[in-house]
Chain A
């Protein structure tokens, strides 16, 4: 296995509006991150109709954002992002060598004058992830006394993977976390929110990762769920090792198949494409994502 892989990603989003849209303001978070084990070597964002105005920037978490607005009447919107990323294989994970989870929890609590860990930000409730006792109770068996925090997270990931049914279209983007938790069903976004909620309810820091998953199954291995759509998973913090990514939908610690687009507290921080439109009425939405290994022309 080579140490680095190159992936090409095309992400198409198409809106059809029943009525005419007079004005539209959009915010896209579609550019893959250029950090850690991942390099983004090219990126293009194309919109039809062409935006009247564009602004790019970086959010508080370091993610790339594209703001664009359209002031001409339109009844369709097509947004295509095209990216190429190079991923370096992850070093063998040292989940067993991480700190006992209780020590991490103590490090997240405020004490006057004590040094502050910026990761604390990801230990609080956020728009999609409330902190509730039921989630702590659910996670507790995975975190025996003194267990290394990342080993506990891995066990929790396995537990969610086994207990929850992956069900396409069972939830909407704004389905509350607790609805998915109670019915034990959902899509990758719900799996991620549930796992984040469990970790935060124990006082740990966990963040939401939006990204893509390589769709090509390795020979002899089962095909991974999540193909042809955006994907989402969870990143867990350990003070001495930093962040490690867990994919509860597929029960894997991420390697070179997972492309990181943006990280935040939950889906609300990293929504791939959001907007406010004037007019439009009902709309239909088509999303198509293709992730493929880069094949240089022969």
Chain B
């Protein structure tokens, strides 16, 4: 699409065109597009638009769409609110990169290498001799008085003396073009995965410019991080390295899964790991496997509920003991949270002189910690030019901006600081540099900040990833935050020399890689897969039965009491109505129906359809890395479908089958599709076998019980009851094809119980289990699950078809009871055998 602006410009120079459609930045801010001098573009931006050409410039809107599409297709998300119901928001990425020239970058690089070295040395001192405290160079309130100083690690020296394997720094550029450090992240910095996705998406949009501008590549920095982990690992080259995530509800979970895949690490949660003695192990279906290195994305205090936060369910009890014993490398080492306090910045220049014997190369914003009287006096005099931030999490608040405040607001802040000076830190206010973004035919300047990453090198020292995560405020806000709806941009660093062509993206596989491709299934993943199978089958069965009950009650046939009673029992067995609900008698029919419809959407009631679907979502969410995106979409779709019948809406309180049945039909279709995904789209490893075992066990439990009820009550002898049995087994069409309209009990027993060719028959389900159970990983001393199942000889049609004088089918009813019982026993045995170490943990104190 041609932008009318360009036509009126009559220019062939794309850089001139770009300059013409670029809005002027706010005065007093650095302009990334034009540099300090202006009005023309900086050399790299001139080259960028030159390579792009006038035609490329006019096609930028389409490229914006392509980037948005790719983000969506790759499933790049950022969980805005880190809770179960919070939306996973698509990652936001601007089309234009932040471009840094080689000289600028060299200064940043040298400054950040020095600063990371400094912070590491400072940690070694504070967990060791504490000379900086004794010399009065750092206030004890900011270290020993900070909740992030971890006393259980006092005296601990990590392997190689490396506390920080990875550190991130937020930089901002002032009006004169100089770079300043605004904040530092040392616990478990985020961004390494997102910036890589940004690079893949944006370099694809501008391949020529990317090449022509000689943008430095990133892969070597990731390789260095991995190599240094292996070099320092207590297990050396044969180490197992895992990436520890807090789980799918963490705001940056996407990145954890992405990085684990990119770096070739196993993604684990705390409950996947266990400490035995002084070593760390991963719990797998095949037993315990030693772990040597944990790259963690969990904050310090959550890592070990025994010695740190007792209420943490995300950590590994005993982890600190294993660290102290030198049996595991934790990257980063724990206990650096206090370095993230803004107050520390004010003390770094003097500490740098003392520890590194050199001036601090890349300065922080001027910082005053108000707990120091002299500093507080200075800060209080000029609050109108400062930003006030919390010193630590002890007293938390949003950063307070001084500029533009009236006298009353400033006096109020003064009083707050005076009441608890330690808790407040002031930093000078920096007008952020403005970087160009593309918005519908215009280059709009927006305030941006750059997060850069230092990684440890295998031989010691640090290197800086040549790039970073640029974050951009959506409007002219002075604060940049992805949580507040900001966007991000790729960061291009112009290479001073050769472009480093190393790549970590998948290489061509060798035959030996294929031979060793067995995938470790963690016990937690196995448990979730098992329950995914059970919940999917349960949802499918209960929805089918709910449909059946509603349709039968509202059919044109006059129902006998016997049928009504059987329906009532089956509905209660499947938790469609409370056990105390009025029976489906003719008089109470409406009340029963309303109960049933209201129960469908009541997520509180254990085992309601809504409850089962939410459980399905939760278990699927735990193992999203194993599911096809379509699989996950179907699960979300099923929940959305159920929500169309909202509690509180009139049609639910006074619900009728006419409202509920179409919803149940659509839901049923989605659930069948989920089953199809599971049967046909998943790798057939031990995890999949457990999923299938879970599904078959659930099927046995539901169907054996429903059929038992229909036989015990005699309802099966009636037309409606006979039809119910066929429907419950989803075998109506098969029966019609075989027997047309003949209604014979022996044919029913044959098709639903004995027939090994009907995939929904009990014999076929039992047969599937017989085949699958022996393929599960062997566990020494465990009893044989197959022996619990009734043998093939018990499925004898003649014997099962015997009807006693009282009208009961004794042998059949006994077999049905036995099948249900066996399913429960096998399920328990599997729980104990493969997952029982994944039970809830609790903290105790005396």
A residues contacting B by CB (< 8 A) are 13, 15, 22-23, 25-27, 52-53, 55, 57, 59-61, 67, 69, 71, 109-116, 120-121, 123-125, 127, 131, 133, 173-174, 269, 271-280, 283, 285, 287
Docked pose: A122 CA to B321 CA in angstroms: 25
Q: Which residues on B sit within 8 Å (CB–CB) of A15?
A: 844
Q: A133's contact among B151, B276, B372, B419, by CB below 8 Å, is which?
A: B419
Q: Which of B47-99 contact A (CB under 8 A)?
A: none
CB of A116 within 8 A of CB of B134, answer yes
Scoring B residues 315 to 329 as 1 if CB is less than 8 Å from chain A, else 0, what string do you get? 001100100110000
CB of A27 within 8 A of CB of B307, answer yes
CB of B136 within 8 A of CB of A277, answer no
Q: Identify which of B138-146, B674-682, B734-742, B792-800 touches chain A.
A: B138-146
CB of A60 within 8 A of CB of B836, answer no
- Nearest chain B CB to A270 CB, angstrom units: 11
Q: Which residues on B sit within 8 Å (CB–CB) of A174?
A: 845
Q: Which residues on A sit within 8 Å (CB–CB) of B139?
A: 110
CB of A110 within 8 A of CB of B841, answer no
Docked pose: A239 CA to B839 CA in angstroms: 50
Q: Which residues on B sit within 8 Å (CB–CB) of A61?
A: 151
Q: A283's contact among B136, B278, B317, B844, by CB below 8 Å, is which?
A: B844
Q: Is there a chain A Cβ closer than 8 Å to B411's Cβ? A: no
Q: Which residues on B sit within 8 Å (CB–CB) of A22?
A: 836-837, 839
Q: Which residues on B sit within 8 Å (CB–CB) of A125?
A: 145, 394
Docked pose: A121 CA to B142 CA in angstroms: 10
Docked pose: A114 CA to B137 CA in angstroms: 9
Docked pose: A27 CA to B321 CA in angstroms: 11
Q: A280's contact among B133, B394, B842, by CB below 8 Å, is which?
A: B842
Q: Which residues on A sit within 8 Å (CB–CB) of B841?
A: 276-278
Docked pose: A71 CA to B281 CA in angstroms: 14
Q: Is there a chain A Cβ closer than 8 Å to B186's Cβ? A: no
Docked pose: A173 CA to B845 CA in angstroms: 8
Q: Is there a chain A Cβ closer than 8 Å to B275's Cβ? A: yes
Q: Is there a chain A Cβ closer than 8 Å to B152's Cβ? A: yes
Q: Which residues on A sit within 8 Å (CB–CB) of B350?
A: 112
CB of A274 within 8 A of CB of B843, answer yes
Docked pose: A22 CA to B243 CA in angstroms: 26
Q: Which residues on B sit within 8 Å (CB–CB) of A271?
A: 845-846
User: Nearest 7 pairs between A and B by C-beta?
Assistant: A124-B145, A60-B154, A110-B139, A276-B317, A60-B151, A25-B317, A113-B136
- Nearest chain A CB to B146 CB, angstrom units: 8
Q: Which residue in chain B gives the minimum CB-CB distance to A274?
A: B845
Q: Which residues on A sit within 8 Å (CB–CB) of B266?
A: none
Given A60-B155, A116-B140, verify A276-B846 contact (CB < 8 Å). Answer: no
Docked pose: A52 CA to B321 CA in angstroms: 14
Docked pose: A60 CA to B128 CA in angstroms: 11
CB of B155 within 8 A of CB of A276, answer no
Q: Is there a chain A Cβ closer than 8 Å to B277's Cβ? A: yes
Q: B136's contact among A27, A60, A112, A269, by CB below 8 Å, is which?
A: A112
CB of A55 within 8 A of CB of B371, answer no
CB of A25 within 8 A of CB of B844, answer no
- Nearest chain A CB to B304 CB, angstrom units: 9
- Nearest chain B CB to A230 CB, angstrom units: 8
Most chain B CB within a 10 A radius of its CB, from A69, A112, A276, A287: A276
Q: Which residue in chain B gives the minimum CB-CB distance to A27?
A: B306
Most chain A CB within a 10 A radius of its CB, from B325, B839, B846: B846
Given A27-B306, A109-B373, A275-B843, verify A120-B144 contact (CB < 8 Å). Answer: yes
Q: Which residues on A sit within 8 Å (CB–CB) of B318?
A: 25, 67, 69
Q: Which residues on A sit within 8 Å (CB–CB) of B140?
A: 110, 116, 120-121, 124
Q: Is there a chain A Cβ closer than 8 Å to B305's Cβ? A: yes
Q: Which residues on A sit within 8 Å (CB–CB) of B470?
A: none
Q: Which residue in chain B gives the minimum CB-CB distance to A13?
A: B846
Q: Which residues on A sit within 8 Å (CB–CB) of B840?
A: 278-279
Q: A53's contact among B152, B276, B373, by CB below 8 Å, is which?
A: B276
CB of A115 within 8 A of CB of B136, answer yes
Scoring B residues 823 to 846 as 1 if CB is less than 8 Å from chain A, else 0, what string do you get? 000000000000011011111111
Q: Which residues on A sit within 8 Å (CB–CB) of B278?
A: 53, 55
CB of B321 within 8 A of CB of A55, answer yes
Q: Which residues on A sit within 8 Å (CB–CB) of B557?
A: none
Q: Which residue in chain A gives the minimum CB-CB distance to B420?
A: A131
The 30 sampled A-B contact pairs (Cβ below 8 Å) are A13-B846, A52-B276, A52-B277, A53-B276, A57-B324, A60-B155, A69-B275, A69-B318, A110-B136, A111-B373, A112-B372, A116-B136, A120-B140, A121-B140, A123-B145, A124-B141, A124-B144, A125-B145, A271-B845, A274-B843, A274-B845, A275-B843, A276-B306, A276-B317, A276-B841, A276-B844, A277-B842, A277-B844, A278-B840, A285-B846
- Interface size grouping (class) on chain B: 35 or more
Q: Which residue in chain B gives the minimum CB-CB distance to A275?
A: B844
Q: Which residues on A sit within 8 Å (CB–CB) of B274?
A: 23
Q: Which of B102-142 contact A (CB under 8 A)?
A: 133-137, 139-141
Scoring B residues 661 to 681 as 1 if CB is less than 8 Å from chain A, else 0, what string do you get? 000000000000000000000
Q: Which residues on B sit within 8 Å (CB–CB) of A52?
A: 276-277
Scoring B residues 270 to 296 as 1 if CB is less than 8 Å from chain A, else 0, what string do you get? 000011111000000000000000000
Docked pose: A110 CA to B391 CA in angstroms: 15
Most chain B CB within a 10 A radius of its CB, from A111, A272, A275: A275
Q: Which residues on A sit within 8 Å (CB–CB) of B133?
A: 116
Q: Which residues on A sit within 8 Å (CB–CB) of B839?
A: 22, 278-279
Q: Which residues on B sit within 8 Å (CB–CB) of A133?
A: 419
Most chain B CB within a 10 A radius of its CB, from A13, A59, A60, A71: A60
Docked pose: A274 CA to B309 CA in angstroms: 12
Docked pose: A113 CA to B139 CA in angstroms: 10
Q: Which residues on A sit within 8 Å (CB–CB) of B371?
A: 110
Given A124-B141, A124-B144, A274-B306, verify A112-B374 contact (CB < 8 Å). Answer: yes
Q: Is there a chain A Cβ closer than 8 Å to B772's Cβ? A: no
- Nearest chain B CB to A105 CB, angstrom units: 12
CB of A25 within 8 A of CB of B134, answer no
CB of B372 within 8 A of CB of A111, answer yes
Q: Is there a chain A Cβ closer than 8 Å to B785's Cβ? A: no
Q: Is there a chain A Cβ closer than 8 Å to B157's Cβ? A: no
Scoring B residues 795 to 816 as 1 if CB is less than 8 Å from chain A, else 0, what string do you get? 0000000000000000000000
Scoring B residues 373 to 393 as 1 if CB is less than 8 Å from chain A, else 0, what string do you get? 110000000000000000000
Docked pose: A164 CA to B305 CA in angstroms: 33
Q: Is there a chain A Cβ closer than 8 Å to B310's Cβ? A: yes
CB of A272 within 8 A of CB of B846, answer yes
Q: Which residue in chain A gives the minimum CB-CB distance to B394?
A: A125
CB of A274 within 8 A of CB of B844, answer yes
Q: Which residues on A sit within 8 Å (CB–CB) of B306?
A: 25-27, 67, 274-276
Most chain B CB within a 10 A radius of its CB, from A174, A273, A279: A279
Docked pose: A67 CA to B318 CA in angstroms: 9
> Given known contacts A69-B318, A133-B419, what 5 new A-B pairs fall within 8 Å (CB)?
A27-B306, A112-B350, A174-B845, A275-B845, A276-B841
Q: Which residues on B sit within 8 Å (CB–CB) of A23?
A: 274, 837
Q: Which residues on B sit within 8 Å (CB–CB) of A275?
A: 306, 843-845
Q: Which of B413-446 contact A (CB under 8 A)?
A: 419-420
Docked pose: A189 CA to B420 CA in angstroms: 26
Given A23-B274, A25-B317, A71-B276, verify A111-B846 contact (CB < 8 Å). Answer: no
Q: Which residues on B sit within 8 Å (CB–CB) of A57?
A: 324
- Nearest chain B CB to A32 CB, angstrom units: 17
Docked pose: A55 CA to B152 CA in angstroms: 14
Docked pose: A271 CA to B845 CA in angstroms: 7
- Nearest chain A CB to B354 CB, angstrom units: 11
Q: Which residues on A sit within 8 Å (CB–CB) of B141?
A: 110, 120, 124
Docked pose: A124 CA to B145 CA in angstroms: 5
Q: Which residues on B sit within 8 Å (CB–CB) of A26?
A: 306
- Nearest chain A CB to B300 CB, angstrom units: 15
Docked pose: A60 CA to B318 CA in angstroms: 18
Q: Which residues on A sit within 8 Å (CB–CB) of B325?
A: 55
Most chain B CB within a 10 A radius of its CB, from A27, A71, A115: A27
Docked pose: A15 CA to B152 CA in angstroms: 26
